[in-house]
Structure 1
Amino acid sequence: MANWAGSAIDGLLCYCRAGFEPELAGELTERAAQAGFAGYARAERGTGYVLFICDDADALSRALPWSTLIFARQKLRLFADLNGLDPRDRIAPMLAALPPDIRYGELVMEHPDSDAGKPMAGLARSLGNALRPALRKADVLTKEDNPRLQRLHVCLLDGDHALLATGEPEDSAPWPLGIPRLRMHADAPSRSALKLEEALLVLLDEGERKRLLRDGMRAADLGAAPGGWTWVLTRHGLRVQSIDNGPLRQHVLDSGLVEHLRADGFNWQPQQPLDWMVCDMVEQPRRVAERMATWFREGWCRHAVFNLKLPMKKRWQETQLCLDVFADQAQKPLTIRAKQLYHDREEITVFATPAR
């Protein structure tokens, strides 16, 4: 019999950018306390994930929707911590740890997006190839993937250590590790284009993308050079005023949808209201939050995506402060969503739109 030390565990498993575990732990701890739940975070810097242990994790998960968590790329319902797995048989302990009477629509094999986790990629693939048929034989996994049912996530921390969790289709990222697989387009003027593409994919739902990004809409891109975000907007058919004293790539201008205005994007204002404003300028986050609020307060735009560059210390506290400043100074009801995206670094991305 395999010699392993497994235990049931009640909590949340959340993935994040390596190095931002303290920020995610702080966010989960504070948000849980505000919702009336006792619990504690287990986090180690550089690991790419945080556990939040709570006696009523089901209720806590409902109280903290994935879409509202800023530093969590993914939120899963943790139910087992299997340590000391025998490499000769990792599958039997996993089957034994599954809760009764649950049938999963998909198996997702994962490893943390960290220096320690990435070497687990090959083992995760091979173990998944062996575990899937075993789960189907036990009738706990559908014969074909069913996106309407819960997903079973197996997160390999090491060759003998795995976390088991479930993902709710309506309350989790649909991508493994919460990372959309986007490729750099050959025509993209800069890698920053991937940030806006990911923001539109993660922060807006499908219906919002169809409704809010339509041919002929008008937008401003503040601090546009060399034109990555402008390029993304034109691919959605928007007409863009690109504000920057620096140059734009010629093929962006050749689209016929772009007007390049050489001005300071931080102080420029439109002559008439626009549908969209986007901003990826390097500036103090509070100053950006205040300027973005001015755009909404003055009615210069209806929707916006902007980045807040975070300081090295107290990043969770600075995030809260800046989002509060933005919401207060906008002086109108807004729906505000913020995430640290995969293509973000020391920053978060914010989407704002009139509250419906």
Structure 2
Amino acid sequence: MSSAALAYSLILYCRPGFENECAAEASALAGRRGISGFAKTTPQSGYVHYVLHDAVNWLDLAEALPFNDWVFPRQRVIGVGRIDDLPERDRVTPIADAVAELGLRVGRVWGETADTNDAKELSGFIRRFSPHLEKALTRQGSLKPRHDDWPTLHLFFRSASSVDIGLTLPHDASPWPMGIARLRMPRAAPSRSTLKLAEAFMALMSREEQQSTLRAGLKAVDLGAAPGGWTLQFAERGLHVTAVDNGPIADSVLDTGMVEHVRADGFAWRPQRRVEWMVCDMVEQPSRVAQLVADWVATGRCQRSIFNLKLPMKKRWEEIERCRKLIDQRMRLHDDKYVLRMKHLYHDREEITAYLARV
């Protein structure tokens, strides 16, 4: 496992159209950690390049800017090298030579590109190319596939002749190539929003958290539940769900036998007893949703919550920071220790998804 490679940049994969928000976040987080650099963006490119003024040990940079602290990047890669003139007839050799020169020892290799229509044209090339590179890296001792705790080597192709070489640690990165969760639509799901909550469980919670809190027999509340996509995620795991919405809940969700439909306003309704979960996907001002969720968790109505914040068209990063402060102020009124994680998930669009829990 390599620890000596120097980091020159951050490569931040994001949803196309959110490059400015991703860049603003990079500047804010780096500035708070005393890291000097600047963001390079191209509209609708699906990534941001944050260039460091001074090279640093890549592990130190990863520790200073851990993946869980980021909102807009689907993946945060530590850039340690770049090749801009890959020959068409042999791209393997220069990349393998660069990896050897950097002294890297990795446990897996991901060939990646941006999530744009233009960049997707590279996906076929990457699929064909990757096995040949993996063989070369294995032969020279740079790739040890059974070392699951070793870094992941990211090869971010901007074109067939230009590639960024980057690293992440398995426990400090998205578990999916390109940060994209490929999930199957449940048969009984009434809407695609169900995939958003399924991704949130995996992206915002550890395995231990999932195992201990998504257990059969626990109770959950879904505010603004109609037509029931989020409710279904709990019901199929054996949790008893109170689905709160004046609108209808799909029969396929009610047929699980785990759901009670309450016709009420999600902002006004309150449970008679404490529940493990409250989730909320209501279309409302983000600050109002943030205050509602913080009130539920701070007062003990629920132990934890996953919720969406529908972002404005402008000043999205500023709105997220505002919601963070609102939640922090509410939780501190009760002297509560808490965890708050936020991500712009693959299945999100003009919103982000957040996880808040008392600890």
Task: Using the TM superposition, name which of 316-325 and 51-60 deviates more.
Answer: 51-60
Find 1:349's aligned residue among 347, 350, 353: 353
Distance of 1:265 and 1:327 partners within structure 2: 22
Q: Equivalent residue for 2:339?
A: 335
Deviations 1:189-218 (A, max 9, x none): 210100000000110110001111111111
RMSD (CA atoms): 1.5
The one-letter code sitting in structure 2 at the alignment partner of 1:283 is E
Q: Equivalent residue for 2:123?
A: 121
Distance of 1:111 and 1:250 partners within structure 2: 41
1:148 aligns with 2:129: no
The one-letter code sitting in structure 2 at the alignment partner of 1:336 is L
1:177 aligns with 2:175: no
Q: Normalised by the size of structure 2, how large is the TM-score?
A: 0.93
Distance of 2:285 and 2:43 partners within structure 1: 25
Q: Is the 8 A contact 1:310 1:318 kept in 2?
A: yes
Deviations 1:99-143 (A, max 9, x none): 44322111111111112211110111111122111112222112x
Q: Is the 8 A contact 2:297 2:358 kept in 1?
A: no
How far is 1:333 from its partner?
Answer: 2.2
Distance of 1:290 and 1:9 partners within structure 2: 39
Task: Using the TM superposition, name which of 177-186 and 300-309 deviates more.
Answer: 177-186
- Runs of 4+ displaced beyond 6 Å: none
Alpha carbons of structure 1 residues 119 and 266: separation in structure 2 relative to 1, 3 Å: same
Name the SS of the counterpart of 1:116 in structure 2: helix
Distance of 1:122 and 1:115 partners within structure 2: 13
1:244-263 equivalent positions in 2, closer than 5 A:
244-263=245-264
Unaligned runs of 5+ in 2: 1-5
1:46 aligns with 2:47: no
The one-letter code sitting in structure 2 at the alignment partner of 1:184 is M
Unaligned runs of 5+ in 1: 1-7
Q: Is the 8 A contact 1:9 1:53 kept in 2?
A: no
Distance of 2:82 and 2:103 partners within structure 1: 20
Q: Equivalent residue for 2:303?
A: 302
How far is 1:57 from its partner?
Answer: 5.7
1:108-257 equivalent positions in 2, closer than 5 A:
108-142=110-144, 144-257=145-258
Distance of 2:133 and 2:61 partners within structure 1: 29
Task: Using the TM superposition, name which of 216-225 and 331-340 deviates more.
Answer: 331-340
Name the SS of the counterpart of 1:276 in structure 2: strand
How far is 1:96 from its partner?
Answer: 2.7
Q: Is the 8 A contact 1:85 1:160 kept in 2?
A: yes
Q: Is the 8 A contact 1:12 1:57 kept in 2?
A: no
Q: Equivalent residue for 1:10?
A: 8
Task: Using the TM superposition, name which of 82-91 and 220-229 deviates more.
Answer: 82-91
How far is 1:9 from its partner?
Answer: 6.6
How far is 1:297 from its partner?
Answer: 2.9
The one-letter code sitting in structure 1 at the alignment partner of 2:19 is E
1:301-320 equivalent positions in 2, closer than 5 A:
301-320=302-321
